[in-house]
């Protein structure tokens, strides 16, 4: 399973707290404010509990758990380039 976390947090200090926590859990940055990595529903729950302590009004955190094969079929648009995750070494481990 892959845990994907997307966030929109207004304050840099709060963003940094969440980023550090996500990296400690083994997630990697895949976009400016999107992290992904191996995990389960329990991992998502831990992230949710931590995010609840960090976010304030106007902030948002989106957490989703997907199967690895679903993640490998994700489409990526990188500038003018378009590819499927499985076509590249775009690993989250």
The larger pLDDT score, comparing residue 77 to residue 54, is at: 54
Residue 89 has what pLDDT?
59
Confidence of residue 10 (pLDDT cuts 50, 70, 90): very high
pLDDT, mean over the chain: 90
* CATH fold label, 2-87: Alpha-Beta Plaits (3.30.70)
Q: What is the pLDDT of residue 31?
A: 87
Sheet holding 2-8, edge to edge: 28-31, 34-38, 2-8, 60-66
Instruction: Identify the band that residue 37 occupies on the pLDDT scale cut at 50, 70 and 90.
Output: very high
User: Which pTM value belongs to this model?
Assistant: 0.85
Backbone torsions φ then ψ of 86, nearest 5 degrees: -65, -15
Q: Which residue has the tokens 């679903």?
A: 70
Name the more confident of 90 and 59. 59
Domain boundaries, the chain: 2-87
Q: Do residues 65 and 2 make contact, with C-beta atoms less than 8 angstroms apart?
A: yes
Three state DSSP letters for 5-43: EEEECCCHHHHHHHHHHHHHCCCEEEECCEEEEECCHHH
């Amino acid at each position: 399973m892959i845990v994907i976390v997307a966030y929109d947090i207004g304050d840099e200090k709060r963003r940094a707290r969440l980023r550090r926590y996500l990296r400690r859990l083994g997630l990697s940055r895949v976009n400016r404010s999107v992290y992904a990595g191996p995990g389960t529903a329990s991992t998502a729950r831990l992230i949710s509990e931590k995010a609840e302590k960090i976010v304030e009004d106007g902030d948002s955190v989106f957490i989703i758990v997907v199967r690895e094969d679903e993640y490998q079929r994700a489409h990526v648009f990188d500038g003018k380039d378009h590819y499927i995750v499985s076509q590249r070494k775009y690993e989250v481990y």
